[in-house]
Amino acid sequence: MSVRSNILAFAFKIIPFRHTVIKNYLSLSSRKKNYFRSSAPPFWFKRKWSISNNKINGHEVFQIEQKDNTEPDHVIFYLHGGGYIFKATKHHWWFINRFLRRFSCAVVLPDYPISPDFSQEEMMDMVLKSYHQTTAKYGAEKIIIMGDSAGGGLSLSLVQQLKKEKARQPKKVVLLSPWLDVSMNNPEIQKMAYLDPFLKVETAKMAANAFCSGNNPESEKYSPIYGDIIGLPQLSLFIGTHDILYPDCKKFKELCQKQNIPLNYYEYPKMIHVWMLFHLPESKMAMKEIFSIIE
Give the pLDDT confidence score for residue 32 in this predicted structure: 45
Mean residue pLDDT of the chain comes to 89
Binned at pLDDT 50, 70 and 90, residue 81 comes out as: very high
Looking only at the bridges linking them, the beta strands covering 105-110 and 74-79 are parallel
Alpha helices in 15-75 (DSSP H): 18-26, 30-33, 43-48
What's the angle, vertex CA 117, arms to CA 128 and CA 88, rounded to 5? 60
Looking only at the bridges linking them, the beta strands covering 172-176 and 143-148 are parallel
Between the two ends of the chain, the Cα-to-Cα distance in Å is 27
Kindly report, residue by residue over 203-225, the tens digit of the pLDDT: 899 899 999 999 999 999 999 99
Give the pLDDT confidence score for residue 37 in this predicted structure: 53
Asked if residue 180 has pLDDT above 50, the reply is yes
Give the pLDDT confidence score for residue 118 in this predicted structure: 93
| DSSP string covering 68-110 | T-PPPSEEEEEE--STTTS---HHHHHHHHHHHHHSSEEEEEE
CA 36 – CA 276 distance, rounded (Å): 23
Query: Domain 3-294 falls in which CATH fold?
Result: Rossmann fold (3.40.50)
Residue 204, C-beta contacts closer than 8 angstroms, at least 6 positions apart:
83, 179, 182, 184, 244
Asked if residue 274 has pLDDT above 80, the reply is yes
Kindly report, residue by residue over 125-163, the tens digit of the pLDDT: 999 999 999 999 999 999 999 999 999 999 999 999 999
Any idea which of 23-37, 160-174, 176-190, 237-251 has the lowest mean pLDDT? 23-37
Where in the chain are the domains?
A: 3-294
